[in-house]
Amino acid sequence: MDRLHDLSLTAQVDTLAAGELDPRELAEHYLGRIARLADLGAFAEVNPDAARARADALTRTAPAGTLWGVPHADKDLVARAGVPTRYGSRARAHLVPTASDPLALALDDAGVVTLGKTSTSEFGLTGFTEPLIHAPARDPWRLTAGAGGSSGGAAVAVAAGLLPAAVGSDGGGSIRIPSATVGVVGLKPSRGRLPIGSGFDSPDGLSVTGPIARSAEDAGLLLDALVDLAPFRYATAAPGSGPFADAARRPPGALRVGITTVSPWDDDEDIVLEADARIAFGTAAAWLSDAGHAVTDADWHPSGYASLFHVLWRASAARIPLSDDDMTLVEPLTAWLVREGRRLPALDLLSGLSSARAFERRTIADFAAFDAVLTPALAQRPQPVGAYAGHSPERTFAMQVEYAPYSSFVNVAGLPALTLPVTRDATGHPVSVQLVGRPGGEATLLSLAAQLEDRRGPLPHPPVWDA
């Protein structure tokens, strides 16, 4: 039999349900790997005793729930009663919540065995996961490089075989940036797709919950589980479970695919698409054309984006409940974003929100001719650990945009998007592309992604996989 972490999420779910594997055995396997590979910085907290007790309790019951017995870890932005939840911040170093967030409770109902907390940037505000409160999350392919963020720990855990899949959150690329960095599949659902982490939870509508997995099929299975979570569904939720995993198992048919290397930051920042990213983009476009899709230039010319996103991101930081004492403990970029956000006049905020909705309408209209739009996932290779340290907040923000200029606009537009690895650079590191869908178009993205995976063939695992 394969090593347990060699099995896909889908295979683990099926094996658990068939009684060929019990939750305790699977939890022990992953706990061992997490301990051996602690230097990757994937986990902010590990709770082996609680995980074993949960696994033993499940073993004494009949399988129930979409994810019964599956090892899981909360992103360290999700409160779980009795478990330190630090939000990647020294300002929350000693916080132990007395109540769990709805996502944690719903995933418990789905049957998961929670092993701990995956690491995140401070309050999830940055596209790199190097918080001062603990060690950075490292790219398992190149340990001197960072993993991206803010769901960096979750992406590392999946890429390194510390979890079969993971749930992340994405407010400006926080699922897709680390997934593309370390070479796994990251899916940001449409705004309103999920009952929890829907994007309707805040005025800007940016942040949604979504899956990180090693394949399109596994991402579809985890999305099915997230759509099914209690207590309610939005109108865009698919009825029942299973359709998204099924979408990754069937051919997409002949579709219209737009392609563009344009980013909405091009007029305001120094965006340079590196050769490896350009090769991956061109390769994916050629494969889609070879598969029979009508692949044409999206002819996209966005404008006015940078100013509205600066307003939205500062406003999102302003909502973080930080006292004056807390502000002495947070990182410089966090302090800058919070202070700038709190200084925003109400008229500027309302104008920014209005501009965001106008951008959403324009982007949906611009992409309306296509079933999906292909873009690069990242503009640059993974950055060294510490690359963002020592710069002014303004420059740190600009550097993140230069690294991942194709991410945040999807959140503003409320569209679904998926990143997946398609090629490898000269060192063997995966290089990813992004597919952006129509509102509610996750099934199409998963089907196209699976088709690209079939054309690409299996990717090797990073060296740490065999640890």
Count the neighbouring beta carbons within 10 Å of the beta carbon of residue 299.
10
Angle among Cα 157, 215, 239 to the nearest 5 degrees reads 105
Of these residues, 150, 169, 198, 316, which one is catalytic?
A: 150
Please give the Cα distance from 20 to 291 (Å, whole number).
Answer: 38
Peptide linkage before 382 cis (omega within 30 of 0):
no
Strand order across the 166-170 sheet: 166-170, 208-213, 185-188, 417-424, 430-437, 372-376, 256-259, 294-297
Is residue 174 annotated as a catalytic residue, yes or no? yes
Is residue 119 annotated as a catalytic residue, yes or no? no
Please give the Cα distance from 183 to 432 (Å, whole number).
Answer: 7
Which is it for strands 113-118 and 43-46: parallel, antiparallel or unpaired?
Answer: antiparallel
Of these residues, 100, 119, 121, 174, which one is catalytic?
A: 174
Please give the Cα distance from 13 to 52 (Å, whole number).
Answer: 18
Please give the Cα distance from 156 to 167 (Å, whole number).
Answer: 12
What the block records as the tokens of 287 is 């494969």
Please give the Cα distance from 291 to 448 (Å, whole number).
Answer: 10
Distances 347 to 195, 312, 363 between C-alpha atoms, Å: 31, 13, 24
Tokens 């919540």 correspond to: 97
Is residue 169 annotated as a catalytic residue, yes or no? no
Residue 311, phi-psi category: left (phi > 0), alpha (psi -120 to 50), beta (remainder): alpha
Backbone angles phi, psi at 86, to 5 degrees: -100, -10
Please give the Cα distance from 244 to 228 (Å, whole number).
Answer: 12
CA distance from start to end of the chain: 17
* Count of H-run helices and E-run strands, the chain: 16, 11
Please give the Cα distance from 437 to 416 (Å, whole number).
Answer: 5
**Contact in structure between 141 and 430 (CB atoms under 8 Å):** yes
Among all residues, which ones are annotated catalytic?
75, 150, 174
